[in-house]
């Protein structure tokens, strides 16, 4: 009986882990400002620094959107966002649950 309970607990734990890892972490980033976003960062909340610029050599023009897969392989759902605009302004937004968030808007 004890072995059956351990096996059941192990199976439930494995199901829970695979469910969390299978969550959709794609978020549409909407730039509803009049400035291009020239850099965009998404780092899980326990990271000690910003990860690499997701846009790389690309930009997110004013009035445009882009779908970004924010899955960094850690299993985290909560990320901090940082956008750097062409005029030098930086906006940081903390605690975004990318497992539940379908869109994120930058507005003026």
- pLDDT tens digits, 53-98: 999 999 999 999 999 999 988 899 999 999 999 999 999 999 999 9
Rounded Cα–Cα distance for residues 88 and 9 (Å): 52
Confidence of residue 22 (pLDDT cuts 50, 70, 90): low
**In whole angstroms, how far apart are CA 91 and each of 3, 17, 42, 69?**
53, 33, 12, 20
When the pLDDT of each residue in the chain is averaged and rounded to a whole number, the result is 85
Q: What is the pLDDT of residue 16?
A: 43
Q: What is the pLDDT of residue 5?
A: 44
Does CATH place domain 24-107 in 2.60.40.2890? Answer: yes
The pTM of the whole model exceeds 0.85? no
Q: What is the pLDDT of residue 61?
A: 98
């Amino acid at each position: 009986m004890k072995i059956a309970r351990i096996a059941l607990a192990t199976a439930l734990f494995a199901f829970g882990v695979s469910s969390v890892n299978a969550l959709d972490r794609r978020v549409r980033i909407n730039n509803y400002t009049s400035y291009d976003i020239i850099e965009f960062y998404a780092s899980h909340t326990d990271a000690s620094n910003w990860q690499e610029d997701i846009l790389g050599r690309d930009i997110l023009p004013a009035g445009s959107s882009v779908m970004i897969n924010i899955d960094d392989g850690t299993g985290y759902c909560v990320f901090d966002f940082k956008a750097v605009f062409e005029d030098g302004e930086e906006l940081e937004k903390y605690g975004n649950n990318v497992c539940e968030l379908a869109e994120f808007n930058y507005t003026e």
